[in-house]
Amino acid sequence: MGEDWTARFAALEGMAPGVRDTLRARSSVATLPAGAQVFGPGRKAENLLLLLEGTVRVQQLSAEGREIVLYRIHAGESCVLTTACLLADESYSAEGIAETRAVAAMIPRAAFDDLVATSPEFRQFVFQAYARRIAELFATIEEIAFRRLDIRLAQKLLELAPAGGVLRTTHAQLAAELGSAREVISRQLGEFQRRGWVELSRGEVRLADRAALAALAATP
Amino acid sequence: MGEDWTARFAALEGMAPGVRDTLRARSSVATLPAGAQVFGPGRKAENLLLLLEGTVRVQQLSAEGREIVLYRIHAGESCVLTTACLLADESYSAEGIAETRAVAAMIPRAAFDDLVATSPEFRQFVFQAYARRIAELFATIEEIAFRRLDIRLAQKLLELAPAGGVLRTTHAQLAAELGSAREVISRQLGEFQRRGWVELSRGEVRLADRAALAALAATP
DNA sequence: GGCCTTCGGTGACCTCGTCACCGAAGGCCG
DNA sequence: CGGCCTTCGGTGACGAGGTCACCGAAGGCC
């Protein structure tokens, strides 16, 4: 915590010194273990999070126990959407889970409010984050409604796979990513394997032919 | 325009006089005809809209010409989501259409920015609108992904039908409401008609048994 | 009345989700 | 080590929903 975390946050780069001073003075840096619930239905958070390291998965849990991944917060992004609920005193139905060890700056509600009031750049930063997330949600709705599942699965595999090309995840988790069912994902992955595009083993998917997957993912 | 429109806007009721003075002084009231595009991909709006009368339909247009209705802005609500894009200088893929004649207060970007800076209540108002809309979008995603179409159709019919129970709309429009296909809606409406729940004629759906539709809509 | 556009109905077929099972893989513990 | 339990994935059958191709009916417009 001794170092200046505001220097590591690209979006704050160009901000007036006063903003960064306020952030440094009035916020703290927290580390969350992988798997920790960052926010959720039963949790009354009081901080805006700026994610410095790691990723946070935001997912919606349905009443019948089904779940769907809505989006991810990556390092360098803020969690404004969920914070709006806190600022507005609204309860929240979705939850955020740290997928890896995550390091985040926690900005107390009052400090956030002050920054929004005093800094035009900070306002711009906040509204830009909103705008992008909303556009992303719109795109997600369109994809779920209209895009074929094999295409979406190929996209998701490419999006989630690390450099090595070995994705450690279960078919059930992939189904939750896409709002689909486990059996359907199993069958579709089986088809991909038959074509030599992936290799399957328990708990992992190895991408064997990224180009072929990308070609499918790019079909209009 | 001579009257004080801020008095008609419930959310502004409790605000400090200064806020309402600013709104009155720096904004104008515009009337839009039914069918007018309020905002859209090719349109660079410069105003935040507070809708005083009428409704605005927000829909996403896909590249292949398909469309899906995302949500509606009703009288008494603001259009913050789309405004975020303007404030953040982001381009916008969705469009807003006035469904009826619509009367809206137009707040210039600079005035909106000032209000967010100076009034804590106005900030709360803005963030609350965001939070609600986002929660609604999350719920929409869940419904599209998991809810049966007959249930969603029954819900939509009840939501859209006026007091008389006669809905003037085409099957294709209903399909766009639900992100489905025209043929599927036709078949489903045919089934509802066979059960005596609706009566169909060209360009209209008459709700004959609201209770039955509500019962279906309420199935978990 | 003739023409054109929009609207809705239909059958065939494909994709996707659901249900019911079952076996295989891996962890745990005696 | 063997036995047990949980998680994971594979499968067949079927139902719901989307797509394609086509066609006739309704209404608007000369």
8 A C-beta contact, residue A24 and residue A127: no
Q: Which CATH class is domain A147-217?
A: mainly alpha
pLDDT for position B15: 84
| Percent of chain A topping pLDDT 90 | 65
CA dist., res. B145 & res. B161, Å (int): 24
Distance CA B69 to C1' D28 in A: 28
Among chain A residues, the shortest Cα distance to B66 is held by A146
Q: Pick B68's closest partner by Cβ from A135, A142, A220.
A: A142
Distance CA B148 to C1' D16 in A: 8
**Cβ of A81 and B130 within 8 Å?**
yes
Select from 2.40.50.140, 2.40.40.20, 1.20.1270.10, 2.60.120.10 the CATH code of A5-144.
2.60.120.10
CB pairs under 8 A between A and B: 134
The answer to whether residue B141 neighbours chain A at the CB level (below 8 Å) is yes
Instruction: Tell me the average confidence (pLDDT) per consecutive run of 10 residues in chain B, 220 residues long.
Output: 74 84 92 90 79 94 91 91 74 86 92 92 89 92 97 98 95 98 98 97 97 95
Q: Point out the nucleotide closest to B148 (alpha carbon to C1′).
A: D16
CA dist., res. B209 & res. B165, Å (int): 9
**Cβ of B138 and A85 within 8 Å?**
no
Arithmetic mean of pLDDT over chain A: 91
pLDDT for position B8: 80
Which residues from chain B sit within 8 angstroms of residue A118, using beta carbons?
117
What one-character DSSP code corresponds to residue B195? T
Residues of chain B within CATH 2.60.120.10 domain(s) are: 5-144
Q: Point out the nucleotide closest to B64 (alpha carbon to C1′).
A: D19
Protein residue nearest nucleotide D19, by CA to C1': B181
pLDDT in tens, A65-118: 899 999 999 999 998 877 777 777 776 778 899 999 999 999 998 999 999 999
Q: Closest Cα partner for B171 from B181, B182, B160, B157?
A: B182
Does any strand D atom come closer than 7 Å to the Cβ of A186?
Answer: yes
Residues of chain A within CATH 1.10.10.10 domain(s) are: 147-217
pLDDT in tens, A17-66: 888 899 999 999 999 999 998 888 867 777 889 999 999 999 999 888 89
Q: Closest Cα partner for B83 from B57, B45, B42, B110?
A: B45
Does any strand C atom come closer than 7 Å to the Cβ of B172?
Answer: yes
From residue A167, alpha-carbon distances to A22, A159, A163, A213 in Å are 41, 10, 10, 14
pLDDT in tens, A154-184: 999 999 999 999 999 999 999 999 999 999 9
pLDDT for position B2: 54
Query: Residue A196: which residues within 8 A CB-CB, separation 6 or more?
Result: A208, A209, A212
Q: Pick A116's closest partner by Cβ from B92, B123, B141.
A: B123
8 A C-beta contact, residue A185 and residue A177: no
From residue A36, alpha-carbon distances to A71, A160, A176, B114 in Å are 17, 20, 18, 39
Among chain A residues, the shortest Cα distance to B89 is held by A128
Does any strand D atom come closer than 7 Å to the Cβ of A200?
Answer: yes
Protein residue nearest nucleotide D8, by CA to C1': A202
pLDDT for position B170: 97
Which residues from chain A sit within 8 angstroms of residue B63, using beta carbons?
220
Query: Residue A218: which residues within 8 A CB-CB, separation 6 or more?
Result: none
Query: Is A203 or B87 the better-scoring residue by pLDDT?
Result: A203
Does any strand C atom come closer than 7 Å to the Cβ of B200?
Answer: yes
